[in-house]
Amino acid sequence: MVCDCIVVGCSNNNITNPDRRFFVIPVLRKNEDKRELSERRRHEWIRRINRKTINSDTVKSWQRVCSDHFILGGPAGLADFINLDWTPTVKIRYDLQCLSTTLSSDRYKQKQMRQHMKSTAQAV
């Protein structure tokens, strides 16, 4: 079975790059002690992958992230949340559709804030 990396802009797969390792997006732990931490980690992985079509409900078990996106070549353990490899951090790009929606809403909010500041300044 072919494993493709789902990070935007990455074309690695296990056929053309047999030296790469591929990691599934972390699953939610059922254990109460680890559930909150596993939810946070899964959310961060999905946020960093940043594909419009992927969220916590739509993640498939076959979707993987390759070793190129980790400093030491693989994810750190669940409890090691201070480690930079707790989530993918290297060679991360963004889905431009997803990013442009975020940017345009941010610009709109900034414009609204400027207009509000200008109108309050004129009133004084």
Range of the domain at 74: 22-93
Q: Tell me, yes or no, whether 28 lies in a domain.
A: yes
pLDDT of residue 33: 84
Residue with the larger pLDDT of the pair 29 and 113 = 29
pTM score of the predicted model:
0.70
Does the pLDDT value for residue 99 go beyond 50?
A: no
Q: Which of these, 44, 50, 26, lies nearest to 84 by C-alpha position?
A: 44
Tell me which H or E stretch contains 23. Answer: strand 22-24
Q: Tell me, yes or no, whether 29 lies in a domain.
A: yes
Q: Tell me, yes or no, whether 111 lies in a domain.
A: no
Q: Tell me, yes or no, whether 79 lies in a domain.
A: yes
Q: Tell me, yes or no, whether 85 lies in a domain.
A: yes
- Per-residue pLDDT band for 60 (boundaries 50, 70, 90) equals confident
- Residues 27, 35 contacting (CB under 8 angstroms): no
Please state the rounded mean pLDDT for residues 60-85.
Answer: 92
CA distance 26 to 32: 16
Q: Tell me, yes or no, whether 56 lies in a domain.
A: yes
Please state the rounded mean pLDDT for residues 76-85.
Answer: 91
Q: Tell me, yes or no, whether 13 lies in a domain.
A: no
CA distances in angstroms from 49 to 83, 92, 97, listed in the order given: 18, 7, 13
Total structural domains within the chain: 1
pLDDT of residue 74: 94
Q: Tell me, yes or no, whether 81 lies in a domain.
A: yes
